[in-house]
Structures are given as C-alpha cells and as structure tokens.
Amino acid sequence: MKIAIGSDHAGVELKAHIISFLEKEGVQVFDKGPVSEKSVDYPDYAKQVVGAIQDEEAEYGILICGTGIGMSIACNRYDFIRGALVRSALEAKLSREHNDANILCLGARITPEDQALECVKVFLETSFSQEERHIRRLDKLGCGCCEI
C-alpha cells in the first residue's frame, strides 16, 4: 500500500508519529511535508497530497492540520478526492465503507495521538462496501471516480 501524507505546522509532530507507525506496518509513505513547525499554509500541502493521488503515486492520503477542518475543505475542492474529517475509529470505518473516502483528515489539536493512530489503522484496513446505494450516492457527488 502507498500513502501520501502532509500537514501544516500544527500537524508536523503527529505526522511524524503516523509515518513511523505506517513504516513499521510495511506501508510505503510519501511525506509531502512540511519538515519543520515553521508556520505554513495548509492549502499548499493539501494540494501536494491530492496531486500524489491524482497522479497515482499513492492510493490514499492523510492530511493533518490543527483541527482537520482546513485540510478537509482544501482537499475536497479537487476532482477524484473524497476527504473525510475523522475523530473516531467508527468514523474512519464508515468513511471507507460508505463514502469510499480516499483522504483521511485529522486534527492534531483535537484528536489525541493514540486515537489518531487508531483512526489511521482502521481507515487503511477497511474497504468500500461496494453496495449499490453507496455507489449511487457517490456517483451523485460527481467526483469523477464512480460508475454505476
């Protein structure tokens, strides 16, 4: 599995923990930055992770900012992206099963590290349900990914 990950300054520390967790699990991780906690703008890093998915460098993305809200707004402006702002393992599971989310958005200032890692684990081990009603709903979003 190939994952692209990015953050803003508020998410750098959590990003490092997630990368270390994923690498131990044998996941290939593309770190799109930033490398320091110097203030940056979250849309710039959302764009990098989106680009990795659109170019098929990665299958899924993870985006982290302080709340996760900025990153979820930013990534959902692009074609082929279904970003889900997730706070719990249940939301991580349902975002994959029902929404076929391809970017997990996390809020480093909201969600404790152990909970965030659980969200990552569940997100990556859960598949889209492939149920017709969910495919139909995704198709209505016009995100460019789905065919009935």
Comparing CA positions, the residue from 76, 139, 102 lying closest to residue 1 is 102
Compute the least distance from the CB of residue 62 to ligand RB5, in Å. Answer: 15
What mask of x and - would describe binding to ligand RB5 in positions 88 to 117, judged by CB under 6 A? ------------------------------
Number of residues near ligand RB5 (by CB under 6 A): 8
**Tokens describing residue 1:** 């599995």
Q: For ligand RB5, which residue has the nearest CB? A: 70
Q: Out of 3, 5, 6, 8, point to the residue binding ligand RB5 (CB under 6 A).
A: 8
Compute the least distance from the CB of residue 66 to ligand RB5, in Å. Answer: 3
Are 41 and 98 within 8 A, CB to CB? no
Comparing CA positions, the residue from 110, 99, 125 lying closest to residue 14 is 110
Residues 14-73 that bind ligand RB5 (CB under 6 A): 42, 65-67, 69-70
Radius of gyration over every alpha carbon of the chain, rounded to an integer in angstroms: 14
Compute the least distance from the CB of residue 107 to ligand RB5, in Å. Answer: 7
Determine whether 98 is an active site residue: yes
**6 lies in the binding site for ligand RB5 (CB under 6 A):** no
Name the region of 130 (left: φ>0; alpha: ψ -120 to 50; beta: rest): left
Are 115 and 18 within 8 A, CB to CB? no
Compute the least distance from the CB of residue 48 to ligand RB5, in Å. Answer: 16
Query: Would the CA dihedral through 29, 22, 18, 50 be positive or negative?
Result: positive
Cβ distance to ligand RB5 smaller for residue 65 or 122 = 65
3's enclosing H/E stretch is strand 2-7
In the complex, the residues that contact ligand RB5 under the rule CB under 6 A are 8, 10, 42, 65-67, 69-70
User: Which residues are part of the catalytic machinery?
Assistant: 98
